[in-house]
Structure 1
Amino acid sequence: MRDKIYAYLKSHNSGATSHELVEQVLKITGASPGISKTLIQTAVAGDRRFAVDEQHLWKIAEGGGTPFPETEFVLLSFITADTAERAKTIVEVSAQKIKNDTIVDRLHICINPGLSAASTLHLPPDFMQEIKNGVSGEKAARSLADFFAEAVLVGYDIQSAMHQINKILNTFQRTIENASLCLRCLTKKLMPALHQKSLSDVASHFKLPILDVRRTEREIGTIADIFSRYKELLKEHGFKTVEEALEFQYPLIEYVDFSKYAFDKYFLWSIPQMPGVYKMKNKHGEVIYVGKAKNLKARVSSYFWNTADRLQKIADLLRDVYCIEYEVTGSELSAMLMEYRLIQQYRPRVNQQFEVHERPARYGKLRNFIAILPSSTEESLELFFARDGLPLKQYEVLKDAVNFSEVEKNFRYHVLWNGETWPLSHVCKRRGNSSK
């Protein structure tokens, strides 16, 4: 919440009253001036980024922020594995809490995603045994949330880790909202000349030990070494506080004029970090562009990064955009197929003119196949059907309600499954979804 207040004040240089912050950021209406003052004072207590002037306006304090040595960080390393449904799940996490370059605490967890899911993981036998003996996802997520407390999270792909952990916590009405530093993002900003920017590439650049076996307890040391070097590079760039580093890692969207859109930056913040498709519409409701994304929040927000190197074609696109709609899918492949279907349906003029985001190749014709893919909900599946000369069709069906025998009889096609082509009945048997 502090970061949202900070972002709001950053885009309102003249300051804001407690009442305004309560209504615009906390989304609480009808609070009295006294209650509003108490709420904001409590929310920002001890945070030196904020100050109140003589007119009782909250502003960003000059030189405010928490120096690196006074900030508690949690370094995070994790491993995910694919289940039979092609859904990624975290199976191992190592965390290291540091302050002033001193290790304060450590945590290591192996996570058993459940008996049925664990049996489908493709891992070395010794690692597999550790996973089977691991704690439940609920216990692991709660332990991690307690371990994180108010620390700033640091990892090479930290957003992915937070997304996976929050997927578990959300089922228990909890979530992690810690500030986070993404080492991958910092690599792009601090070392743009480095051609390959994977963790092993950065480790090689700094002449750090490169691990043959990727296990979190070994990798966390590499992450700690890289983070230590990045803190020195940040200081060389003039960044001395963690708040400055948090701003530096991403291009800012705080100074974009949202008055011409039917949405604001809070809408962008609310988009889930999930695969899916999005439609951009003009004021007349016409779909002018359809896109897909592995991470909807990152992709849609990227259009509004107020950077000098923004592509001209994106700037041209935004001139006509009025509203954005999105739909979460169960996988990247589902997003790709849904994007294809929507482009065929709407024929958006921007998609016809050029690709806003470059792809290796344009889609060819999708011919004679059925794809059975995970949906964004546990109870359903997404089915895509393609025939020569006909539009791609998409259905969402309940797992228990699918009569696969009828589907196979009517379509008599094969299924692309795990990179191979199988008769539909064989795939249904592999999934355990035989017809009723």
Structure 2
Amino acid sequence: MSSPAPATAAPPVDWARVRADFPLLERTVHGKPLVYFDNANTGQKPAAVIEAVDGYYRHFNANVSRAVHQLGSEATEAYEGARKRLARFLNVRADELVLCSGTTFAINLVAYSWALPRLKAGDTILVSRMEHHANIVPWQLVAERTGATIRVAEIHEDGTLDREALARAMTPDVKLFAIAHVSNLLGTVNPVRELCREARRRGIVTVVDGSQAVPHRPVDLQAIGCDFYAFTGHKMCGPTGTGALWARREHLEAMPPFLGGGEMIREVSFDGTVFNDPPHRFEAGTPNIAGFVGLSTAVDYLDAIGMASIEAREADLLAYLTTALDAEPGVRILGRAPDKAAVVSFLVDGAHAHDLATLLDLEGVAVRSGQHCAHPLLQFYGVAATCRASPAFYNTHAEIDAFIAALRKVRRLLG
């Protein structure tokens, strides 16, 4: 019997060609070439995604699941095709994927449709210190209405999760554990597979915020083993107002609808309503059809590059950026977790984050400043605000050099 052929390495990616796919990156800001380092906030869109959205409106704009005419059939096929495409991308069943406006909506769906009917006084919701507000505030609202309490899983100074303290915090009263796959402020990549396994052994339901993971690394939800996983389309080269909630089928079938209206029903009378099967039960009203046509194209685009290649490219950019910032006197980086994602939150001695970001913008450099929807995390570090530079695979070493040069100029201006 012949031996199997050796695996061939993927061909190297032409990153200059990839960059050319993004029209917005060619513009100038304040007369300077744009350096866009705010990708943790929202990602830029390749021409293929823009053209897909335009093509929907030009050629088959119609509502889904409500018409038998040709346009309606084409729109429905494209919308449901997007669900199937996302499902393949994440290695899940399409009927376990609720299409929605993004992570915030998805987590609120879990909060109000799963947690609110089940939790009670004496129950505990466990969340980590590094969560985005979208994975904190919904649980606070549920706790206020049910009498449940919130418990915080703390972190180490380097931004990694305190695993020993977390294990102690997973007591029998904990019914739900909410955790970010990747921190939007620190770039910490949490070991969600191991965390979900530990929670599941204890009968704890897990909710993972995947907003900062799905755009930047391979994600296999079957391997992670969580109960719920939420992500946002506009961070992964897709249109705004798109995203999804993945949930185990048994949860979806047991959850009541979150919103009522058209499409989420089978039959309505004044005597009562028979609801549709999941996932359509949770998709009331006209969805963002054009957005999901674009998101499906975005997934095709990311897959064509390869998520492993994207992860490696961004790790290279992160290393180059971190080394450059470390060489600058008076710069402090928050979050030094091993194998972190390409997110760098930093402070500069004597400069307020907002002033720094405003002056960098005048040099054509776009970074985020403020609290990054992570107030409890900044409180841990004792700071009011940071700047955050978050490169993506279409950025370059030359842009990092331009950012460092702009930072030096701004620091001289701030004196």
TM-score range, shorter-chain basis? under 0.3
Name the larger-Rg structure: 1
User: Relative contact order (C-alpha < 8 Å, sep 6+): which is higher?
Assistant: 2
**TM-score normalised by L of structure 2:** 0.25
